A = this chain, B = another copy of it.
Amino acid sequence: MNILKDKILRDGIALNSEVLKVDSFINHQVDVNLMKKIGIEFANHFRDKNITKVFTIESSGIAPALFTSLELNVPMVILKKQNSKILNDNFYTTEVKSFTKNTTYNLTLSKNYIDSDDNILIIDDFLANGEAAKGAIKLVENANAKVAGIGIVIEKAFQPGRKALEDLGYEVYSLARIKSLDNNKIEFVN
Interface residues of A, Cβ cutoff 8 Å to B? 23-24, 27-33, 35-36, 58-60, 62-63, 66-67, 69-70, 73, 75-78, 80, 110, 112-113
Contacts and interface: CB of A to CB of B under 8 A. Distances in A.
A60 B80 CA distance: 10
- The count of identical subunits is 2
A77 B110 CA distance: 28
Which applies to chain A's interface (DSSP): helix, strand, loop or mixed?
mixed
Contacts of A28: 77-78, 80, 110, 113
Contacts of A69: 30, 32
A35 B66 contact: yes
A32 B63 contact: no
Contacts of A76: 29-30, 32, 63
Contacts of A33: 70, 73
Contacts of A62: 59, 62-63, 66
Contacts of A36: 70
A31 B66 CA distance: 9
